[in-house]
Amino acid sequence: MILSAAEKWEEGYITSFNDMPSGSISPIVPRSLQVNTSFGIRSFKNWFFSRSNTAGTAGLQRYSVKADGTISDDGFIANASQFIVIDETIGYYLDETRGKLKLQTFNPTTMQRTGEIDLSSLQNEEYPYQVIGKHTLAAKDGKLYAGMTYSTLETEGFGGDLIDYIEFVVIDIATNTYEKTITYEEEAGYNTIGWGSSANKMWTIGDDGALYLYSTGLQNGFTQSGVIRIKEGETDFDKTWRLDAHDLVAGSSIAAGLVKDGKMYIELPSTALNPDFSNLMDFIFDYYVVDLQTKEATKITGMPQHHYAYANEQAITEIDGKICFWVRNLDENIDAYYALNNDGTSATQLFNIDHDGFMWGLVKLDE
């Protein structure tokens, strides 16, 4: 399943393929579904989800693929923004119109709202704008982790942060009850995890069972960006480990990653990102493999420099045991996925889309 856009995040197409594409392909075939906006997709088993419906209305849209390869519209929850699917019957989302300190529950099978978790007791009147789950809703070991954001009214959580640390609320999924609030106040200077405007959730579960959380630096002019984690079997931040992106390249941003076999795969710019975002969309990014213990980073060769992977949840993804990387370079007419070679430090192209647009998602659905 591929999501592509004719121009950045505008009108695009969702197209299904029977197998992993190869060679030069077209993003549009007769069975493709046209959508009004293209801002990434996420998948769960044989469903995939978008943050807007085909008309471009904001909310949680579920799709599936019919036997003939056409895309089926399977339900829509209006006003839903950040979300997470736990299993076939349990999911959570934020709907600020129902309350900034309330998390809504829904059934992913029926795509119906089922209730809410009221966390208004956590209101801090000191801050003009406070919201839970806007940037991050993650889950591990039966617990839901919801990021708390404090900001100015003007920015509504996208920048303008008024605290200099990270705060998460821990909720027990079995009972939908609040357990505790955890904070990360180390000297790294991170104050936001994720950036909740696209389908890119900006966290991942490693093969070590840990929850890895990405601080993009978008909110602080790229002065601080990196990765922190909550280890398997634990419910608080691991204060003994983090990966500081600025130690690798000054002015960096980490928005996507994958952890496997003691290594983390990330994207880094080759030059410092400007605080005004003026070079954020330049083709200056490369992929790296980082040793989790030593923090040593090695550039992965065989791919040209590429566009920032901000809205592509599958920019670094594993499909059929292969670690795959999205590469968009307009100057070289490349909008492709590459697979990591057996040497672990080089990659080979799998397929390339022949168009002038951007690919914003690649998922393999369960049979």
Return the HEC string of 115-167.
EEEECHHHCCCCCCEEEEEEEEEEEECCEEEEEEEEECCCCCCCCCECCCCEE
Residue 146, CA distances (Å) to 143, 219, 270 in order: 10, 18, 32
- Identify the structural domains of the chain with CATH numbers, from first to last: 73-362 (2.130.10)
- Our CA dihedral for 125, 128, 131, 136, rounded to 10 degrees, sits at -120
With b for 16 or more beta-carbon neighbours within 10 A and e for fewer, the 302-311 pattern comes to bbebbbbbbb
For the question of whether the overall pTM of this predicted structure is more than 0.95, the answer is yes
In tens digits, the chain (367 residues) has pLDDT values of 999 998 888 899 999 999 999 999 999 999 999 999 999 999 999 999 999 999 999 999 999 999 999 999 999 999 999 999 999 999 999 999 999 999 999 999 999 999 999 999 999 999 999 999 999 999 999 999 999 999 999 999 999 999 999 999 999 999 999 999 999 998 888 999 999 999 999 999 999 999 999 999 998 899 999 999 999 999 999 999 999 999 999 999 999 999 999 999 999 999 999 999 999 999 999 999 999 999 999 999 999 999 999 899 999 999 999 999 999 999 999 999 999 999 999 999 999 999 999 999 999 999 7
Q: Which two tokens stand for residue 15?
A: 């197209």
Token look-up 């303008």 returns 160
